[in-house]
Amino acid sequence: MIKSSLPPILHSDIGIDNIELRLLVAADLEYFNGHFPEQAVLPGVTQLDWAVRLGCKHFGYSEAVANLEVLKFQQLILPGQEVTLSISNNAAKGKLTFAYSDGENRYASGRIAFDSTPVNSKSATNISDEASQC
């Protein structure tokens, strides 16, 4: 995994086995540089990194990914957009399912499998505080 900085979290909605985070994809992110010259887009690897890191922080997984499943990038995320990152946890299988969306628009989705089961879970306040510090 790359070690990107995390985006600002504008709002969070935390459930037992799922989280929804409203993210600001700031136009000045370094990940837009050179990706692509005609129209900057948020790289898929950055989207995946954010889902892994934010999901692991909340659900207590190690960031060691074993496998990626059904990974799809449907639409481009552009500079200055706000998107919702939804992450669901299946602790019994050691998997997180994620999706980036905004209303009816779906940008990316997939499933992340880990070698180990989660060790602990963090609160909504912790995930927002930690993301803002990264």
Given this model, what pLDDT does residue 124 score? 43
Please write the tens of the pLDDT for every residue from 14-30: 999 999 999 999 988 88
* Dist CA 96 CA 112 (whole Å): 5
Q: Which residue has the higher pLDDT, 123 or 89?
A: 89
Own/partner contacts of 114-117, CB < 8 Å, gap of 24 or more, are 114/61, 114/62, 114/64, 114/65, 114/66, 115/62, 115/64, 115/66, 116/61, 116/62, 116/64, 117/61, 117/91
Minimum mean pLDDT range among 23-27, 48-52, 99-103, 120-124? 120-124
Which run of H or of E encompasses 52?
helix 44-59
Most confidently predicted of 26-40, 56-70, 90-104? 90-104
